Structure 1
Amino acid sequence: MERSGELHLNELPEGCIANALSFTAPLDVARLSAVSPMFKSAAISDVVWERFLPSDLESVLSTSPDGSLLLASVSSKRELYFSLCDNPILVDNGRKSFSLEKKSGKKCYMLSAMDLVITWSDTPRYWKWNSNPASRFPEVAELIKVCWLEIRGKINTCMLSPSILYTANLVFKFSIEAYGLDDQPVEVAMKLDGDKICAHSVCWNAERRGQQFRTARRPVDFFNFSCRRSIPARESDGHYPKKRGDGWLEIELGDFFCTEGEDGELEMRVFDGTNYWKHGLIVEGIEIRPKEVGASPSS
C-alpha cells in the first residue's frame, strides 16, 4: 500500500530529471536511461549533454575549418558530443586533432607530425612528408635514413581537462622496408615546466616483450634541464607497441596529472642516438588522452 504524499521518480518533471542527470557522467546517463521511459527521454536532453561538453568548445572549434560545418550538421548537444567522440576534428590549422573521450567527455588532442619538432625533418635526404589515406592529418613524416632519431612535442596544459590523469602516446607505423628500429631500447621522457619528469625505455618491437628495460631513476639530461623528482614507469605493456583501433601503432611515453588551475607546458621526447642507421618509421603524431579504462556510453 502506498503511503500518502510519497513521490515516485517517474512523477518528477522531465526537466528536473534532466538537470539531475547533468551532474553525473556520460556513462551514468547511459545506464540510467534504462530505468524508465521518462529517464530515457530526459537522458537525451540538451540540458544534460551541454554540461558534458567542454566550456571552451566554441573557442576550440573556431580554429577548425570544419567547426562551423559540424555545428550546423548536428541537431542536438548529444549528437555533437558523440560526433566529437567518434570523429576527431582538425584544429589549429590542421596541426592538431581534437576529440572527446566517450566515457568521460574529457578532452583529447593529437599533435600531428607537422606540429612536432623532428630532427632533420626539413632535410629531404633524411625525412619525407607524404599524405597517408589512413591518417587523419594531411601529411605524415616518413623516415628515410638517420642515426640520430629525435622527436619532440609540446602542449599547454590549460588546453586539457583539469583534475585528470593523462597519458601521452607516440602514434606511428612501419614501412614494409623498415630496418634498424628493433635492436635497441629507445629513451622516452616527459617534463612539465622543467621539474616533473617521467623517463623510461621502450622498444619498437613488440616481439621483445620478454626483455625488461630498467626504468630511469636518475636525473635525465637530454632535455637540458634538472629534475627534482623522477616518476618510475610501470612494468607494463606501455613499454611496447600496441595496435590501435584506427590501424596505427602506439607506444606510451608517460603519464601526468593535469592539476586544476595549472597552466604549464608539457613536453614529450623520443630519442635514439645509437650510431646505426634507421629507416621506415612513419610518424602520425603524439596523442594526449585521459588515462582511463572502462566501458563507454552508447551513442
Structure 2
Amino acid sequence: MRLRANSESDPAVAFAFRGNKQRNQVPLLHPPSSTHNCSKLRTPSTLFMGLRFSSHPSPESPLGQLPESCVALIMTNMDPPQICQLATLNRTFRAASSADFVWESKLPTNYPLLLRRIFPDFPSDLGKRGIYATLCRVSSLDEGTKKVWLDRSMGKLCLCISVNGLSITGIDDRRYWNRISTEESRFGTVAYLQQIWWFEVDGEVEFPFPAGKYSLFFRIQLGRASKRFGRRVCNTEHVHGWDIKPARFQLWTSDGQYVASQCFLKGPGKWVYYHAGDFVVENGNASTKLKFSMTQIDCTHTKGGLCLDSVLVYPSEFRKVKAFLNHP
C-alpha cells in the first residue's frame, strides 16, 4: 500500500513530505522476535519487512503492538519524508513522530546558532519538530538579498544570494546592465547584461554553516527569456563573446581555503548552474566568511546577452541527487 501524508488533518506532519515525490516509498519492516526489545531494532530496513500497512491497523496487528518508544527509535534512522508518512498510520506512530529526540537527530548540530541568526525573536517553547519545519521554510536575510533554508528531505542547509547582494561592475549604468523582473528567479529580479568589455562579479557572505562540505554555484542564462502567447521564449540574438575566452571563477574562505576554475559559458536559452568550487566547514559553531568572484576581463572583445540570477551555496552531496547542478 502506498502511504500519503494527510495534510488536511495536520499540515505540520506533512510539511517534509510535500514536494518530495521521489521518496514516496516507506521502508518495509520485518517484526522482531516475539518480544519488542528496542535494543534489537537496529535499522529500519530490517524491521518493517513483510508487514502490510493499513491506514487503521488493529491493536492486535504487529504495528499496533509496537511500543511508542521503539517506533520513535526506528524513526531516528529514517528520512523526514518517511517519518511523516509513517505518522499517518495510527496514534502510536503519530505520537512517536512528534518526539523531540527524533527531530533533533535530523537538525544540524548548530541549529541554535542558526535560529539566532535567522530568527532573532524565535519562540523558545517550540518543539524540535516545529523547529525543523520552521527552518525548512525559505527565510529572507539582509534586507531580502539572501535566502536560507534547510532541504526538507535531508535537513541540509542551503543559501542563495541575489544579484542585489553582489558587486557587479557597471551595474548602475544602463548602457551595460538592466534589472529585469521575472518569475524564473526566487528573488523576482535578474540582471541582464547587454554588452560590456570588462565583466566582473564579486560577492561575500558570512554565515554559521553547519559542519560539512559545500559547493558554490553561479546561476546564469545566456539569452533573455520572456513569455509570448503564454509560452516561454528566449531571445539569444545578443549573446556573444562567451565562446572566445572562458569565464574564471574563484572562491576564498576565512580559514585559508582557495579554489579557482574556468569554463566556457554554454547552453543558451536555459538556466545553468556553474560550479565555482567547493569548501569544507570544520566548525559549525563559528561563522565562515566566503568571498567569491566570476570574471571575464579579456578586453580584446565585448561580451553580452547574459542573465545573472543568483549565487547558491549547496551541500556538495546534492550534486549526486540533483541533476540540475551537473550541466554538460
- Give secondary structure in 2 for the equivalent of 1:18: helix
For residues 178 and 33 of structure 2, the distance between their equivalents in structure 1, rounded to whole angstroms, comes to 76
Whether contact under 8 Å (2:114, 2:208) holds in the other structure is no
Give me the TM-score of the superposition, normalised by structure 1: 0.67
Q: Which of 59, 74, 90 does residue 116 from structure 2 map onto?
A: 59
Closer, same or farther: CA 32–172 of 1 in aligned 2, 3 Å: same
1:89-128 paired onto structure 2 within 5 Å = 89-128=139-178
1:66-215 paired onto structure 2 within 5 Å = 81=132, 85=136, 88-156=138-206, 158-162=207-211, 164-174=212-222, 175=224, 176=235, 177-193=238-254, 195-206=256-267
- Give secondary structure in 2 for the equivalent of 1:279: coil
Match of 1:271 in 2: 295
Q: What amino acid does structure 1 have at the position aligned with 2:166?
A: L
Q: What amino acid does structure 2 have at the position aligned with 1:255?
A: D
Q: What amino acid does structure 1 have at the position aligned with 2:265?
A: W
Closer, same or farther: CA 197–3 of 1 in aligned 2, 3 Å: closer
Q: Tell me: higher relative CO, structure 1 or 2? Use CA pairs within 8 A at least 6 residues apart.
A: 1
Match of 2:36 in 1: 7
For residues 248 and 104 of structure 2, the distance between their equivalents in structure 1, rounded to whole angstroms, comes to 41
Unaligned ranges ≥5, structure 1: 208-240
- Give secondary structure in 1 for the equivalent of 2:154: coil
Closer, same or farther: CA 116–39 of 1 in aligned 2, 3 Å: farther
Closer, same or farther: CA 124–255 of 1 in aligned 2, 3 Å: same
Closer, same or farther: CA 42–142 of 1 in aligned 2, 3 Å: same
Give me the TM-score of the superposition, normalised by structure 2: 0.61
State the 1:61 CA deviation: 4.0
State the 1:107 CA deviation: 1.2
For residues 129 and 82 of structure 2, the distance between their equivalents in structure 1, rounded to whole angstroms, comes to 11
For residues 27 and 278 of structure 1, the distance between their equivalents in structure 2, rounded to whole angstroms, comes to 46
Q: How many residue pairs get matched?
A: 243
1:226-241 paired onto structure 2 within 5 Å = none
- Give secondary structure in 2 for the equivalent of 1:41: helix
Match of 1:211 in 2: none
Closer, same or farther: CA 266–205 of 1 in aligned 2, 3 Å: same
For residues 42 and 182 of structure 1, the distance between their equivalents in structure 2, rounded to whole angstroms, comes to 58
Q: What amino acid does structure 2 have at the position aligned with 1:278?
A: K
Match of 1:258 in 2: 281
Q: Deviations over 1:241-287 (max 9, x none)?
A: 9x6xxxx3211001111111454421111111112111121111100
Unaligned ranges ≥5, structure 2: 1-31, 39-62, 225-234, 323-328
State the 1:32 CA deviation: 9.6
Whether contact under 8 Å (2:71, 2:93) holds in the other structure is no
After superposing on structure 2, the runs of 4+ consecutive aligned residues of structure 1 that deviate more than 6 Å are none
For residues 151 and 136 of structure 1, the distance between their equivalents in structure 2, rounded to whole angstroms, comes to 19
State the 1:57 CA deviation: 4.6
Whether contact under 8 Å (1:97, 1:110) holds in the other structure is yes
Closer, same or farther: CA 192–280 of 1 in aligned 2, 3 Å: same
Q: Kindly, what percent of the aligned residue pairs are identical?
A: 25
Whether contact under 8 Å (1:32, 1:39) holds in the other structure is no
